[in-house]
Chains A and B, each alone.
Chain A
């Protein structure tokens, strides 16, 4: 059987590359979707045998629900009975790949598909220097800290005053602290 795969990824460049790699490995990528598409409609329409989704997308929980709805919908990979599943899932998790598979896909095909996705995500990350979810949180925190330091330096603010400055601008512009911090650092780059 040809395994029909749906890719859910917010990064078009990466999902295009993954589609190509899966195609070359003999999989049939039925469509690519992102976070803002209606996954219920797509899943019902294309009835994929498997889904590869960026693990950083909250929409994974939608796929969990569909997996509970019945046999025809793919189940999270960690549920597969194979002995090596935990290791493969761990490896996939570390590069930000999550997979969902219907029960009757052969284990060897599942392994092959997930390995292609892992390699593809890793290659993309090496190329783009993109961050994992955990690194993103840390990087946001560093951005906020750097913006505060800069405000403390340029305006002779205390740390608290620097936070209040960020907070005020976030409120006025309906932004998050991280977004304002990014703007602060960017404006300095322009100025220097």
Chain B
């Protein structure tokens, strides 16, 4: 067992102390905001400015142009950037996961009523499967009606592949049966109300906001699709990390402390206040508070896990799962050996462990884990004793071996 904790005085000093990080106006940018506003970056010798970007595309551009040193990102973005699928080919990596879960699938009131009429029994089950949707799709096809439209937030998003997973599990072929779109979260509620969209998968605070407007019905949260699945990561350019190992490590320490602080519901409410008061999230404060404060047990939607269950550890198997989903839908046509090498470059548990050692935090001794195995909490060996891991079931009882050459799903 490793019980080494590196004393503060021995931490390497950052090569650069003035840094700019990017984020989107979302609840799960909270670790960056907390690290900035509670002085955690400063305590690690960093003067950090946060840029609130309007779109994932804008954030990607800023990262690839070198206007940002690091950013909150969707898990697939560093991989897509490294492979040259998203923007200009630019190797990026992540050594820290910001949160697990927090998305949900919502449908319009009209579609909800059609689903209930088509398959009342399927709609009584929890979690709600897409079986009733499959029935509505068949009815519409027979009647010669147009395909229903569903949206996610970005092509390379967790939301996109969680939505596809849920659809496929209920017998809906997303490519044949539906029209899939990308609509930014601030616009989904009004498009649902206008009838341009029939459903969507987005993160908080946008599900809570839509639920308050009563513009749609939340069917299932991402925790019910993939329990404690990876949601956002903190990413940097590989070249920047290589040139600034100490600054990167200091960023990771501050973010790790911020995530640990966010583990308590009362402090998440405080974080909600900071995000509204400091202009990071321009959404009614009670909506942010409600969606941040949600309880500790998996709720119908919107619960983000920021620290417990080794949430911040960058599991190689998490990105491998998303890559496997991309392959499943023929969105990733690269050679096996290329993909394998990229996955190894893009996820860096070794760098996480250095930062965790600085702080004396516990972490897993292995880099991959199996998904779809545990219905309840389970113990995993850590460097400083056992870690209580979260459940990890996949909707419909799927399994994933965790290896990046796995093809079962």
A interface with B by C-beta (< 8 Å): 35-36, 38, 40, 55-65, 68, 76, 78-79, 85-86, 89-90, 93, 98, 133-134, 137-138, 140-141, 144, 163, 167, 170-171, 174-178
Map CB proximity to A onto B73-113 as digits: 1 under 8 Å, 0 otherwise.
00000000000000110000000000000000000000000
Q: What would be 17 A-B contacts, judged by CB atoms less than 8 Å apart? A: A35-B187, A58-B186, A60-B58, A61-B154, A64-B155, A64-B182, A78-B88, A79-B87, A89-B65, A93-B61, A134-B52, A144-B279, A167-B273, A167-B276, A167-B285, A170-B284, A176-B285
Complex CA–CA separation, A36 to B181 (angstroms): 15
Q: Which residue of A lies closest to B153 (CB)?
A: A61
Q: Are B279 and A90 in contact (CB under 8 A)?
A: no
Complex CA–CA separation, A85 to B277 (angstroms): 38
If A58-B54, A78-B88 touch, does A177 touch B276 (CB 8 Å cutoff)?
yes
Q: Are A78 and B64 in contact (CB under 8 A)?
A: yes
Complex CA–CA separation, A69 to B185 (angstroms): 20
Chain B interface size, under 10 / 10 to 19 / 20 to 34 / 35 or more: 35 or more
Complex CA–CA separation, A61 to B159 (angstroms): 13
B183 on interface, CB distance cutoff 8 Å: yes
Q: Are A59 and B196 in contact (CB under 8 A)?
A: no
Main secondary structure of the interface of A (DSSP, over half): helix
Q: Which chain B residues lie closer than 8 Å to A85 at the CB level?
A: 88
Q: Are B88 and A134 in contact (CB under 8 A)?
A: no
Complex CA–CA separation, A133 to B53 (angstroms): 7
Q: Could you tell me the distance in whole angstroms from the C-beta of B82 to the nearest C-beta in chain A? A: 15
If A61-B154, A98-B58 touch, does A79 touch B183 (CB 8 Å cutoff)?
no
Q: Which residue of A lies closest to B280 (CB)?
A: A137
Q: Are A76 and B282 in contact (CB under 8 A)?
A: no
Q: Are A62 and B155 in contact (CB under 8 A)?
A: no
Say which residue of A58, A64, A167 sits within 8 Å of B187 (CB atoms). Answer: A58
Complex CA–CA separation, A89 to B186 (angstroms): 26
Q: Which chain B residues lie closer than 8 Å to A79 at the CB level?
A: 87-88
Q: Which chain A residues lie closer than 8 Å to B60 at the CB level?
A: 78
Given A98-B61, A167-B285, 20 further pairs, Cβ under 8 A: A55-B54, A58-B186, A59-B184, A59-B187, A60-B57, A60-B58, A61-B153, A61-B184, A64-B57, A65-B182, A78-B61, A86-B65, A89-B65, A90-B67, A93-B61, A133-B52, A167-B273, A167-B276, A176-B283, A176-B285
- Tell me the residues in window 165-217 of chain B with beta carbons closer than 8 Å to chain A beta carbons: 181-187, 190, 196
Q: Are B283 and A78 in contact (CB under 8 A)?
A: no
Q: Could you tell me the distance in whole angstroms from the C-beta of B387 to the nearest C-beta in chain A? A: 36
Q: Could you tell me the distance in whole angstroms from the C-beta of A84 to the nearest C-beta in chain B? A: 13
Q: Which residue of B lies closest to A61 (CB)?
A: B55
Say which residue of A55, A86, A138, A177 sits within 8 Å of B58 (CB atoms). Answer: A55
Q: Which residue of A lies closest to B282 (CB)?
A: A176
Complex CA–CA separation, A62 to B149 (angstroms): 14
Q: Are B279 and A137 in contact (CB under 8 A)?
A: yes
B322 on interface, CB distance cutoff 8 Å: no
If A98-B58, A144-B279 touch, does A62 touch B284 (CB 8 Å cutoff)?
no
Q: Which chain A residues lie closer than 8 Å to B186 at the CB level?
A: 58
Q: Are A163 and B280 in contact (CB under 8 A)?
A: no
Map CB proximity to A onto B154-165 as digits: 1 under 8 Å, 0 otherwise.
110000000000
